[in-house]
Chain A
């Protein structure tokens, strides 16, 4: 089946881990290459590599962007373990090397894949000084930000909930803070981010449009060190070091806001309002031997908004009403991983994880009016608990094949929209209404089984990666089996230029119901049900890649994506506070996206960066009786025809660098009332109202935003490195349309209809001070 090549010549395997020399941090995606045979491989997500070569002389080179390459010459006469430590390249201190992209570049079989280094994230000018991986991803071709200025991801015409965003391999549900302006990923805790928008490896499933695989730092095995920073919005602290040198290490990272403490003294006495969020990442890892290693990863992140009010009235303030809300939402994730090297050809990773997403809103209202007492308490919860067991294997039987296979089982427990209402009334100490209502919907358990196999197969200049995923989702007594074939192919005409093609089939079993362009805490994650089928996406893509100019990478990709069973709110129902079950509010339909993505990237030198252009179109269609746009095609949210992103990072010296991004996109599709209609009420009353002929019927003006960041570094006498970052978001104060609505100006027929345009994020300067020791 796999076409195993049994060579006459004896072969042996070189394997081991690749680490940083200073911290012993494992390196993901480091390149290993034998100069004599031309064979090569990359280290996996845990720094492990394996390479089978013919017996005899080998000349191995180990390389990673920004590090000095290591070389080993040896006579290969038996299976050999070589652990390598790479040193940072001091010669490159004044040069920014952003990538060698072994997983994602021209040499990779897959397409539509980008490795995003922590260095690149740090060098993307940030809103409020909060460096953010999602804002870096938004600059890549094929990615839209959603509403202007938000940290949303809309990839190749997909929805905002169609991204599989994983923290150390565990999917994370609530990926943003502060209504979607910032993502939950603390930059100091991250080691590497890999972004997939096409040719998804078979080990990923569960979302339709993209995968964001975020890996966190393991912790320095050699030395204690840390980073502390203070900015306008948050403060951050990162500590890491050995617990037992070369055996056990930890990495602890925390971020929190503090501006509610600052604002509190300025609030009126009868009002208390606070908003804050935090993230806490902790990781422990222990190396038993070269063959066994365990990792314990913990994450907790939460937003909290609280308000309390007091109203008093009456001659002597004898009547009063106290009311308020306490809202908390976020994720808690725990995962335990065990890496085991069975042999130099077989690597395994066993994971057990727990994932808890929650949104709690508790409200109270205590009314005292004369002899009358009235109390009400409402509680509204949405929760998801996932328990997952997963095993993954990487098997390199012969040099031409790397086979990855594995499986997982997840027990989901969904509790969307559960609520209780308590009403208690008394009058003259006589009990009145004393009732508690509870929502009728019990928790929905679901089981998800997944098995996959994939082979990375090299046949001369042709690389193939066939794979298949089988998954089964069991919910409400119904089974939804899906078979998701994948195929990626690459043909290299020369070392400098290659073409690639890919076919990907994905299934999605959970959806995010959201009513607004901003990320509301009340957005609901819901599973498929006996009535709501899994969403499916089939994507084909084709691309050409050229690296013939030193320090440059050029790429062009086209894609077509077909979507089935996508969900949209019915017309007129996409609002907060709507009654009824969520299943009543939505309909299933189909979608299609197609586009062209061009990218030119400068990867070496004092000035690096890229220019990316996207031509895209995405639309949706639902049945005539679906209640969605009368069954007609309509543009998908954030459908923007042209997008141009420019990223420039210039390093003046090792003390000073300047980063700039410029984002341009043509007008997005918005729903605007362009006519008036007659509404007839059952009572017979007529009313003239705004009329929307079709969803997303109007093109807004184009948007463009320049953001700048200046980093000034200085080594202090105490040995710490101090960095001042000064950022300006929307540097020339472009009045981009974030939100629009129609308004009538003037009186009678002499007036004029205009669109009111809100720009939510005008020019915003910020600073961040960071100490690293």
Chain B
């Protein structure tokens, strides 16, 4: 926020700073409901908390009723191991009106959220291409954003918009990585000891240069001063609307950072080990190999979830600061009547891509 800094240091505007007491809030605690409900799944959970002057508190013993299209469907049960979390099973279909109502055990707080289950969009073929040395607008620190050279897969995602009404999307990626590790001890014989392990990790992608993903406000490489809107809000939550392709097909280009481990070569390598018990220095032969699949998921989310996640983008950007004087604190959007928080529903489509380095 170079400009704002400049405004404040204008030589003739010598500002002065004082502290004044903060009067306590007379409004009392608000019931806060939070959930991201996957309508394609049967199992769901809801987090119930109360706001507080110093700390929020998790709510136990609340009565949580779930209704679909006006008919009570099920009651949620509190998770014994995770205080404040309530679990329930329900099957939702696109177009269902779902209401989740919460009453605290003492009857002092009641709040509810109502949402329609959105219709999924179609996600089609992607064409991955490895870009070595892609300049990613990667991270933030106290000086703002900085750039990072990474190897990345360029993914071109073809999306068929869900309907001609406004639709909202969230994009995310997940890696399923297979780790192959083999060692050979020549002094013991020719056999290889093989260890194989599968694990998952959240993907990291950059869609800052795509007009659809950034809804017109692309961020190019270049640091803090390149974009004219005087502050970047990176789309960390990966949400966008169909404003630019309502009812049509569109292609979104993102760059998925290749995980560091995935870049390791698979050729056998000699490693020197000093093993006094064996009486000297020996060579161990090692083969290590990573392969994996990348799953790209496009969730169709409700409008309130879209605006909530947009607000989280703002909250997590360098534009916003809890102690910002000019922009003021964020009033977090909510779809909870009688309280705060956000209960969102989504349906999703995914594609899974086997990815490996071209030379392999």
Which chain A residues lie closer than 8 Å to B93 at the CB level?
none
For B52, the chain A residues whose CB sits under 8 A away are 675-676
Q: Are A675 and B17 in contact (CB under 8 A)?
A: no
Task: Say yes or no: is A772 at the interface (Cβ < 8 Å to chain B).
Answer: no
Residue in A closest to B147 when the chains form the complex, CB atoms: A367
B87 within 8 A of A: no
Measured CA separation A273–B333 after assembly (Å): 38
Cα(A701)–Cα(B23), bound, Å: 11
Is B291 an interface residue, CB under 8 A from the partner? no
Ordered by A's residue number, 25 sampled pairs between the chains whose C-beta atoms are within 8 Å are: A376-B221, A376-B222, A379-B228, A380-B228, A419-B228, A437-B209, A439-B216, A518-B326, A571-B307, A571-B311, A571-B332, A577-B217, A579-B216, A671-B331, A672-B329, A675-B56, A677-B56, A680-B36, A693-B27, A693-B51, A698-B23, A754-B22, A758-B17, A759-B15, A762-B14
The count of residues in chain A whose C-beta lies closer than 8 Å to any C-beta of chain B is: 109
Q: A440-B216, A573-B310, A674-B25 are in contact. Are A695 and B331 (CB under 8 A)?
A: yes
For residue A225, CB closer than 8 A to chain B, the reply is no
Give Cα A629 to B243, complex, Å: 25
Partner of B30, one of A423, A627, A688, A693: A693
Interface of chain B residues 49 through 104 with chain A (CB within 8 A): 49, 51-56, 58
The answer to whether A735 and B16 touch across the interface, beta carbons within 8 angstroms, is yes
A sample of 12 more A-B contacts (CB under 8 A), given A275-B6, A571-B334, A682-B237, is A307-B225, A309-B225, A677-B51, A677-B340, A680-B35, A680-B341, A690-B322, A735-B18, A754-B21, A756-B18, A759-B18, A762-B15
A window 653-687: CB within 8 A of B: 670-683, 686
Tell me the B residues contacting A by CB distance below 8 Å.
Answer: 2-3, 6-7, 10-25, 27, 29-30, 32, 34-36, 47, 49, 51-56, 58, 133, 135, 170, 172, 202, 209, 211, 214-218, 220-223, 225-233, 235, 237, 241, 243-244, 304, 307-312, 314-315, 317, 319-320, 322-334, 337, 340-342
Query: Which has the most chain A C-beta neighbours within 10 Å: B304, B307, B342?
Result: B307
| A652 on the B face (CB < 8 A) | no
In the A-B complex, the 10 residue pairs with the closest CB atoms = A572-B311, A380-B228, A365-B222, A577-B231, A674-B25, A680-B34, A579-B217, A361-B228, A739-B325, A692-B331
A322: min CB distance to chain B, Å: 11
In the complex, how many angstroms separate the beta carbon of B148 from the nearest chain A beta carbon?
13
Question: How distant is A530 from chain B, measured CB to nearest CB, in Å?
Answer: 14
Residue A323 lies at the interface, judged by CB distance under 8 Å to chain B: yes
A349 in contact (CB, < 8 A): no
Q: How far is the CA of A738 from the CA of B170 in the complex (A)?
A: 39
Residues of chain A whose beta carbon lies under 8 Å from any beta carbon of chain B: 128, 178-179, 232-233, 259, 263, 273, 275, 305, 307, 309, 321, 323-325, 327, 361-363, 365, 367, 372, 374, 376, 378-380, 417, 419, 421, 423, 425, 427, 435, 437, 439-441, 515-518, 520, 522, 570-581, 584, 624, 627, 629-630, 670-683, 686, 688-695, 697-698, 701, 735, 737-743, 745, 749, 753-762, 764
Contact residues in A for B333 (Cβ distance below 8 Å): 570-572, 627
A676 in contact with B55 given A570-B307, A577-B229 (CB within 8 Å): yes
Whether B51 and A572, one on each chain, are in contact in the complex, defined by CB atoms closer than 8 angstroms, is no
Out of B170, B216, B323, name the residue touching A741 (CB < 8 Å).
B323
CB distance from B146 to the nearest CB of A (A): 12
| Residue pair A689, B332 in contact (C-beta under 8 Å) | yes
User: What residue of chain B has the Cβ atom nearest to residue A673's Cβ?
Assistant: B329
Residues from chain B with a CB closer than 8 A to the CB of A756 are 17-19, 323, 325
For residue B336, which residue of chain A has the nearest CB?
A: A630
A-B contact count (CB 8 A): 300
Residue among A677, A694, A741 having the largest count of chain B Cβ atoms under 10 Å: A677
Contact (Cβ within 8 A) B230 A577: yes
Contacts of A518 in B (CB 8 A): 7, 326
**Are B47 and A691 in touch, CB under 8 angstroms?**
no
The answer to whether B327 and A516 touch across the interface, beta carbons within 8 angstroms, is: yes
Residue of A nearest to B340 (CB): A677
Give min CB distance, B283 to chain A, whole Å.
37
The one of A578, A672, A691 in contact with B340, judged by C-beta atoms closer than 8 angstroms, is A691
Closest to B217 in A: A579
Indicate whether A323 sits within 8 Å of B337 (C-beta atoms), given known contacts A421-B220, A440-B211, A754-B20: no
Tell whether, in the assembled complex, residue A689 and residue B315 are in contact, meaning their CB atoms are under 8 Å apart: yes
CB distance from B90 to the nearest CB of A (A): 19
Task: With A518-B7, A572-B311, A675-B29 as known contacts, state yes or no: A758 contacts B21, CB within 8 Å.
Answer: no
